[in-house]
Each structure stands twice: as structure tokens, then as C-alpha cells.
A and B are shown apart, each in its own frame.
Chain A
């Protein structure tokens, strides 16, 4: 279990480092020099990094899925309940796990952001470095809800290996495609479009709005949409509540 944590966290960090590296290698994108992108400038950096790193949250979900799958497979949960552990307490311990993982990821982004921001960015002042860090909070919320989603899925389906592949496909391919279809497909009646905002993964992506458009001189929202917060809150309650309900009702 320790190994998984180290492994996937180093991917997280490594992923960030890779992006950093890539962006700074002067790779040629259509003649446009990407190092010119002021990606690491404060205060934009928080939104940028939060958005980018959020793409890798599926790896963190794997930790949760593998850990709980292990407990189900070795019947540890059952043994714990026999020994007197309440199912509710087990759920709380998993929420704590999710919180710690999400918190750790946010911490990494925070530290990485400070460091890379100071190297590549041009902070005006101490204070200006910390504007917009609310995106980190949104990032935490995003990760935590996603991990709870993964927790619900593994508790419901109990097959870790299949779920990992399934969730990967869903998060990286299926839902983005569905969302794109709902948002942008020209022939779709307007009533259908908002459904996309309610999809489990898309709603999380809405928390930290896509920031890289601003470098195309397009307007980018600078704040976290309240609607997204409410929807994600709803998903969080659903994920935790359903998990609780399944645990209560099911024979171990």
C-alpha cells in the first residue's frame, strides 16, 4: 500500500514536473514559442496548475480503489465489523483517507506552484503571490469529491481491476465526449445542454475553469462558479450517502 502511494504520488509530482519541463523545453507548437506563455505568473499560476493537475486525479482514485478493494477481497471489513468496528466508523476512516490524499495532492501543487512561480514567474509582491489561491480550495473539493465517487463505485461493484479500467475510460474518454456532445453539438436542442453540467466528472471540471484560453486572449472566468460548487456539493452528498446506504444494507 505504501508503495502505491509513493508510486502514484511521484507520478503526480512527476507529471507536474514533466509539464514544467515540456513547457520549458521550447518545444515548437506551430511556430509559437510556448515558453512565452506566462503560465507561471502569479496569480494565474494557481488556476493553471490546479486545472492541469486535476487531469491526473484518476491516479489518486486508483489508490482509493486498490485500498478498498484489498479490504473487501481479504474480508478485512467483515472481520473489523465482527470485532466491533461500526460500519459508520469504517466509512469515516475512508473519508479521512480521501481527505489526506486530496490534501497531499493540493500541498504538492502549492509547494510546486510557489517554487516554479518564483523561478519562472514575476511576482510583484509577496501578497500578490497568494491571490487566487482559492483555486487550490476548489481543487481540493474537486479531488475529494472524485475520490468519494471512486469509493462509492468500488463499494458498489467490488471488482477493483475492472473498475480501474472502467473509471479510466469513463473519466478520460466517455464523459468528456458526452459533455462535448451536449455542449457543442449544433443540432441539439438547447434544453439538453445544461445536463452536461450535472455529470459527475464534468461538474468537477467546472470547478476550476479552463484557464489556458486566456493565452489565446480569450476571456477566462476568474472565479469559481457558484453553480458548480452547488452541483459538486450535491454529488459529494450523494457519493457519501449512497456508500453509507449500501454498507448498511449489504451482507459483508
Chain B
């Protein structure tokens, strides 16, 4: 089921085109990573989808139709920095949000527990640290148990423990079948959590695809031996190796997906070639991201 689709979504400021003719769509259940350098248009896109920024042209559809108040209540979001009334407590602020979202107050305590703010729930917002403010913002997004969650840099300001907690929370939520849109610079996190991703730069979409496919593309095996020449000969005879490159006295192999280190190890053993380094390297989204950026220089 299509959750979100945009058609030629554009935002122009006086001299700057923040977003240019963006077309993309998200299906139900995806954990969608929105990636791009600073200023690429991630927050602008999310802002337009939430009716905070007015598009210059182009349209978007939530749940297959034009946005309505009901459809927007199905979306929980954090955008940039969390904005709450500083002189009110967490509970009071969440009550206001519950009113807006037309959901009951009962979820408030549970939500505060989920984000780890239960103990500080009756303290005014202005006494919170940045991490706590961020947690409250996440709590506010989760409050009405919405179908779609939009997180713009959710781990901003969190300590390592917090980052892990949020990551696990996101994975947990994703497993219940909800759709999540995650804009982040932490590619490591995105890799661990997202199923699909899109790369933006200067308002243009450079790439959209599945994380799995991107990583598969990058899997490499490193092999080294005291006798590099013999190693090279043997490897050239092994079927299933696409590419053989040399770096730092190691050979880096790009192989078919079914080729494993065990098979290579076995083969080299049979050929009596001593091996002192045999490692499978998984792809990293960071590498892929940087590749995509440089391909479009």
C-alpha cells in the first residue's frame, strides 16, 4: 500500500532552489532512510510533507489521497529541534499534543517510560538537557501510536546509550509493521535500521534503492599470502571472482554472492598456498553513499 508519494515537489527561495522536482514514493512497512549532505533538502522535504513549509510547486499524497487532518493525525513526527512550552512539564506538554491528535491521555505515562523520561515527567521543560528534550520529542511523535513516523535526526544530542536505545526502539516499531522515515547523517545507524534509502544533494534526488542491494554490491573478500605471485595466479583461476585488485600487499576480491571465504580458503589449501589473511568485508552504506555522491560530481 502506498503510504507517501510525491510528484515534482519543488521549493524555491529567492535565489536558491532547495528542492527540485522531487519524485519518490514509500510503501507501507518500509524503514526509509533519507540521506544527503547538509543543505541537500532533507528537512525541507519533510517540512513540506508536514504542511509546515509551502511547496512552490508539485504535489504529495499521504495514504493515496490529498492530505487531510485525519491523515495527518496518523503521522508522528520530529522535525529539527524539539519545540515545547518551556514553563510546562513533560506531562502537560504531552497533554496538549494528545488534544491535538485527539487521542486519550492514557498513553502519556507509558510513552514517557518508553523514552526514559518517567522520572522527570513533572519537571518543567526548560530544566531538561538536550538529550531529554530530544527524548520528549520522540515521545510526542509516538504518543498516538501513529501509522507513520518521521524522524529528522532523532539521535541528535543523545549519549551513546541513548543512541542505542533509540535504534532499538525504531527497529521494534518497524517490526510492528509501521512505516518509518528517517533522515540522518549517521549512516551506520541507517544501515542497521533501514530497508530502503534515498540520497539527496542540493535539492536533487541522486539515488533511491534498497539497502540490501547496495550492500550486496560492495561485499569484498581480502586475501593475503607471503607468496603474492602464486596467490595471484591461483585466484585468477578461481571461478566466481569478478575483480581482483591489489592494495597494501593484499588482494581484494569482488565475487559472486555465493562465493564464501570458506570456499576460497579451501581452494587455496588444496593449491598448497599459504594464507595469512582471509577476511570477508561487508559493504558499508557510508561507502555506498560516498560513491553515489562522487558518481554525480
Give the interface of A toward B (CB within 8 A): 74-76, 78-87, 248-252
Measured CA separation A252–B50 after assembly (Å): 11
Measured CA separation A249–B53 after assembly (Å): 9
Measured CA separation A168–B275 after assembly (Å): 86
A116 to chain B, nearest CB (A): 38
Q: A83-B140, A251-B52 are in contact. Are A76 and B83 (CB under 8 A)?
A: yes
Report the interface size class on chain B: 20 to 34
B222 to chain A, nearest CB (A): 47
Which residue of B has the minimal Cβ distance to A71? Answer: B85
- A-B contact number at CB 8 A: 45
Q: A83-B100, A84-B100 are in contact. Are A76 and B52 (CB under 8 A)?
A: no
Measured CA separation A74–B69 after assembly (Å): 23
Q: Chain A contacts of B101 at CB under 8 A?
A: 83-84
Cross-chain contact of B69 among A78, A79, A84, A250 (Cβ < 8 A): A84
Measured CA separation A75–B100 after assembly (Å): 16
Which residue of A has the minimal Cβ distance to B75? Answer: A84
Q: A84-B75, A86-B69 are in contact. Are A79 and B83 (CB under 8 A)?
A: yes
B219 to chain A, nearest CB (A): 40
Docked complex: B86-130 residues within 8 A CB-CB of A: 86, 97, 100-101
Measured CA separation A211–B244 after assembly (Å): 99
Binary per-residue interface labels of chain B (67-88) against chain A in the complex, 1 for a CB within 8 Å, 0 otherwise:
0010011011101001111100
Cross-chain contact of B50 among A74, A75, A82 (Cβ < 8 A): A82
Measured CA separation A87–B53 after assembly (Å): 12
Cross-chain contact of B73 among A76, A79, A80, A84 (Cβ < 8 A): A84
Docked complex: B4-58 residues within 8 A CB-CB of A: 47, 50-54
Give the interface of B toward A (CB within 8 A): 47, 50-54, 69, 72-73, 75-77, 79, 82-86, 97, 100-101, 140
Task: Determine if B86 and A82 form an interchain contact, defined as CB atoms under 8 angstroms apart.
Answer: no
Task: Determine if B75 and A252 form an interchain contact, defined as CB atoms under 8 angstroms apart.
Answer: no
Q: Chain A contacts of B51 at CB under 8 A?
A: 81, 87
Task: Determine if B79 and A82 form an interchain contact, defined as CB atoms under 8 angstroms apart.
Answer: yes
In the complex, besides A79-B84, A83-B101, A252-B52, 9 extra interface pairs with C-beta distance below 8 angstroms are: A74-B85, A74-B86, A75-B83, A76-B83, A78-B83, A81-B52, A82-B50, A83-B77, A250-B54
